[in-house]
Each structure stands twice: as C-alpha cells, then as structure tokens.
Amino acid sequence: MHTVVYVEIALYLFAMLAIGIYFSKKDLSHNDYFLGGNKLPGWALAFSERATGESAYMFLGAIGFIYAAGLSGIWILSGMFLGVMVSWLFLSKRFMTEQQKYKVNSLTDYIAVKFPKHADVIRWLASSVLVLFFVCYLAAQFSGIGKTIYSFSGFNITWGTIIIAVIIIAYSCMGGFMSVVWTDTIQSFLMLASFIIVPIAAFMEIKNQGLSISTELANMGNGADSWVGGLNGIALGAMLFTNLSWFFGWLGGQPQLSSRFMAISTEKERITGRNMAIIWTLIVYIGAFLSAIFASTLYKQATIDDPEVILPHMVFDILPPWVAGIIVAGILAAIMSTASSQLLVITTSISEDIIHKTLRWNISSRKLVHLSRLIAVISGIVGIIISLKSGSVIYSLVSFAWAGIGNTFSVIILLIFFWKRISGMGVIATIIVGFVSAFVWPLSSLESILSAKAATFFICLLAGIVFSLIYPDTVKETQPKLVKS
C-alpha cells in the first residue's frame, strides 16, 4: 500500500489527538465536560450529532448488509432517515428547553428529575443499563476499527484496534464533550466527502467495465433486483416492518444523540442545526445506498470473506491512493466519532449520574472532571477487551444495543414529552422490561417474525402505560426541583 495513505491517516489521527490536548489545557467545569456548558454553535452540534449517529454500522455493517441484500436494503436507511427527521423536527426543541429548565447534564438525569420520589432508583437502573449496552456498543466500534485497518493494510487486527482505540480514549477523556463535538465536526465533513466521492467513482468504474447494474443484481438472485426483495404477503410486511423499525431508536432514546439537542443554546442555533443535519443525512444516506449497490455490481458475492469490509475493498480497488486515504480516514472518522460519544455516555452515567447525583459525593467540580477522565480510561480498556474477545459482527451487535437502549429510552422520552400520566413506576417498569426483552426476544422463535428492534419498542410502550396507570404518581411526587442558573 502507498505511503501517502499512511501519511494521511497519521495526520488525521494526530489532528484528533491535538484537539483533545487543546481542551485538556482549559479549565473545564463538570458542566463543560459533560455538555459543553451550552457554549457550542448549533451547526457544530448538528454535525456532531450526525457523525455520532452514523458509526461503523453505516460504513461497514449497513453497506455490507445492502451489498448482500440488494435494492431491498433501502428500507433500513429509510427507517433511519425518518427517525432522524422526526428527532430534529419534533424532539430537538423540547430537549433544548427542558435542559435549560432543569439544568441537567445527561438524559438519565433529566428522566430522574422528572420523578423526584423515584429519582435515585431511576438513576441506578438507567445508568446500569446504559453502561452495559454502551460497553457492547463501544466494543462494536472498536471491532470496526480493527476490521477497517486490516482490510486495507493487512495490519494485525488486535494491534490496529488497540492503537486507534487508545487515541479515541485519549482525546475523549482529556476534553470531554468539548473535544468530542469538535472532533466530530471534522469527522462529519470527512464522512460527507466519502459518500460523495465513492458512489461517483464506482459508477464511473461500472461504465468503464460495460456492466449493467440491473443485470448484475438479477444475477445475484434472492430478489436482489427487487425493491421488496422478491417477497409478498406476510413475508413482505415482516421484512418492511423489521427494516423500518430502526426508526424507533431515533426517537430521543439515544443519550449520545439527545445530549447534542440538550447542548443547544438558542432557537436560532437549533434551526441552523436542524437544517444542516437533515441535508447532511440525505446526502450521506443516498451515497451509502448507491455505494453498496454499485459494490454489488462490481464484485460478485463471496468476493471477500467478510461483506462488512466491502467498502474499503472497493475504495482501494477503484480510487487513487491519495483519495483512498481520505476515504479510509472518513471510515475511521465514522467509527471514532461514535466511539468517543459512547465512551462519554458511559463516563457521564458513572461519574455524574451515579457518583455525583445518586451517591452524592461531595467533591469539587475540578475533581469530578479528573474522576471522569479516570472512568473514561477504565471504560475504554474494558471496551477494547470485549472487542478483542468477542469477535463481534457489527450489524448484530449494534442491532442488539439499538433495541436495548434506543427503544427503551425512546419510549420513556416520548411518554414524558407527550403523556402527562407517565409515572415514576412506569419509567422503572419500562427500563426493566426493555432490558429483559432485548436479551430474551432475539433468542426466541419470535425474532424470525418480528425483530427485537421493533418488538422491544411496543413491549416497553405497553409496560410504561400499564404500570403508570396502576401506580400513578401523586401531584406532590411529580413536582421536580428546578435548579437556578
């Protein structure tokens, strides 16, 4: 492989580390460390939210899935796009105003302050569930790093994972939310460039080889040339609902995304961010879908052992080395932005929600930041170990975490925002039921009929409503304590 690729990747990694070092030298309060002190511009928060939302899953897992499935893979991206639209159009403003009202630094803390009587139980439960699933989520990102490095260089997966993971841990723990958002912003531009360049180059290669996209998809079989995968009836409905069910996880339940909404300072900044986020998502999703379909045209199935690395394989096959280096940096950017945000969620859940708010340790803001950095390092190391030991499949692991986190907490947020009768016991029941169903449902025969990504949402919704009606809160129990500015 050309030296220029290594140089470009090294420069990118150095830039990410430099941002972390820059913010580590600033005197950060714990509010700055966890939520940026509401000082960040809306456009940067939008790019950060989008880069964080599109991880190793988008560049590796989703493209690998569409490469193998064909045209019907579009429904996964459609469900996700609808979720992004709804979150920015209808939920972002509520998150912004609620944060300003209650002065909270995390999604868990916000849920807890809404139910004072059950606040400590909610913090313990929610934080424990988030830490468990997010460590798995983080491990999936680290696995994506190892796969990416190996796919273009043959570099040992273990060492590739460790080296990049250490850099992520370093800049995340040094600058907290501030460094994560600004590194995300750079990473989002790399991701955008990647999904503009790759489909254009792939289409030109198809034309140069005289290939027919429709013919090659038809030759794949299994309904690859059909928008509905060659299915009909109940099978078609199940496929569409399962793929579109990614929508539910975007409805406010992903703390690494909702924190960006909470960090927005004004309505003007929110509108700017909303517009930027929707345009960015539309371009990236179209580019991702076309990249996967063009890969199906250029490379027959089983061309490579692991479909999840088809994108880097194609990039180095059809692009000049200096362009390929930029694209690989974009793939790493997607993974690193999500991993750093997930690491920050884990850190916030432990240091802010459990140690600071639940155990009520009486420590200064500066010491809390130092403690958070230590927790970030330990959590990152655990994520590395799980990644190396699990040999995880990115698509499956992300789906599992999506059901366990996104659906469970999306239900809670939607009920808090739009149903006045939600109670503390309803929230507790939703968390417990969501946790159990995320584990149990995929192991049952029902998974082949309805994916856990959809099932857990409706199971949690039912639990939240039923338990809220059975165990309603009194007026006194629903009076949160407001924090003065």
Q: Is the domain covering 3-392 a CATH 1.20.1730.10 domain?
A: yes
Q: What is the mean pLDDT of residues 66-73?
A: 93
Q: What is the pLDDT of residue 372?
A: 86
Q: Which residue has the higher pLDDT, 123 or 235?
A: 123
Taking the complete model, does pTM exceed 0.75, yes or no?
A: yes
Q: Residue 163 CA to chain centroid, in angstroms?
A: 22
Q: What is the mean pLDDT of residues 209-232?
A: 93
Q: Could you give the CA distance from residue 435 to residue 429 in angstroms, rounded to a whole number?
A: 10
In single-letter form, the type of residue at position 293 comes to I
List the chain domain ranges: 3-392
Q: What is the pLDDT of residue 485?
A: 42
Are 424 and 473 a contacting pair, CB within 8 Å? Answer: yes
Are 254 and 406 a contacting pair, CB within 8 Å? Answer: yes
Q: Which of 58, 109, 108, 107 is nearest to 84 (CA)?
A: 58
Lowest mean pLDDT among 104-113, 365-374, 460-469: 365-374
Where does the pLDDT of residue 478 fall: very low under 50, low under 70, confident under 90, or very high at 90 and above? low
Cα–Cα separations (whole angstroms), residue 347 to 126, 173, 275, 279: 13, 9, 30, 31
**481 token code pair:** 């304590």
User: Residue 451 pLDDT > 80, yes or no?
Assistant: no
Q: What is the mean pLDDT of residues 185-199?
A: 91
pLDDT tens by residue, 369-425: 888 888 889 988 988 888 887 655 555 666 667 677 888 999 999 999 999 999 999
- H helix intervals, 391-485: 394-401, 408-418, 424-440, 452-470
Cα–Cα separations (whole angstroms), residue 22 to 19, 365, 374, 422: 5, 19, 18, 43
**275 token code pair:** 């517009």
If phi > 0 it is left, if psi is from -120 to 50 it is alpha, else beta; for residue 351 that is alpha
Where does the pLDDT of residue 339 fall: very low under 50, low under 70, confident under 90, or very high at 90 and above? confident
Q: What is the pLDDT of residue 42?
A: 93
User: Residue 1 pLDDT > 70, yes or no?
Assistant: no
- H helix intervals, 209-299: 213-220, 233-244, 255-262, 267-298
User: Residue 263 pLDDT > 70, yes or no?
Assistant: yes
Q: Which residue has the tokens 């990152």?
A: 380
The angle formed by the CA atoms of residues 249, 119 and 134, to the nearest 5 degrees, is 35
Is the CA virtual torsion 387, 391, 393, 397 positive or negative? negative
Average pLDDT, the chain: 87
Q: What is the pLDDT of residue 254?
A: 87
pLDDT tens by residue, 118-157: 999 999 999 998 888 888 778 877 877 887 788 777 788 8
Q: Which residues, in sequence order, are CB contacts of 269 under 8 Å at separation 6+? A: 41, 42, 43, 45
